């Protein structure tokens, strides 16, 4: 468990804008060079415009030229573990396919996953390629 990454994700919860769901999420990603980018969920009254914490953190890293993501931590202030939504799972599978994914609560509940466990048979860049038969 990367305690620093979990702590950054916990701190990001405080920045969340979640007046509609009251479900604040913090996330942090660590890149290959050790840089950390955090994010929080940001809701909108037009729900489809809401952005999850995982995507905010990933997009910040990628937009700063860091495309080698080693780990993602997602933390909530709840008594059960968070679960990335389908959109976040798809984005993780493309932008951070080899990253360790840590799900945690502020109180210390913790579990690690690989994206294949959370999104088996993901749609990928090579999805339409035909394999030799």
- Active site residues per annotation: 54
30 - beta bridge partners? Answer: 36, 71
Q: How far apart are alpha carbons 44 and 114 in whole angstroms?
A: 30
3-state DSSP assignment of residue 89: helix
Quick count: other Cβ atoms within 10 Å of Cβ 99? 22
9 CB-near residues (< 8 Å, 6+ apart): 26, 27, 28, 38, 53, 73, 74, 75, 104
């Amino acid at each position: 468990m990367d305690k620093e990454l979990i702590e950054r994700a916990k701190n990001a919860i405080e920045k969340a804008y979640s007046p509609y769901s009251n479900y604040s999420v913090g996330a942090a990603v660590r890149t290959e060079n050790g840089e950390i980018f955090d994010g929080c969920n940001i809701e909108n009254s037009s729900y489809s415009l809401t952005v999850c914490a995982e995507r905010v953190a990933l997009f910040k890293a990628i937009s700063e030229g860091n495309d080698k993501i080693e780990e993602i931590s997602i933390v909530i202030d709840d008594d059960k573990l968070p679960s990335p939504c389908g959109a976040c799972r798809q984005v993780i599978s493309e932008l951070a396919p080899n990253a360790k994914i840590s799900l945690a609560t502020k109180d210390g509940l913790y579990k690690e996953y690989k994206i294949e466990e959370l999104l088996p048979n993901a749609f990928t860049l090579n999805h339409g390629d035909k394999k030799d038969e």
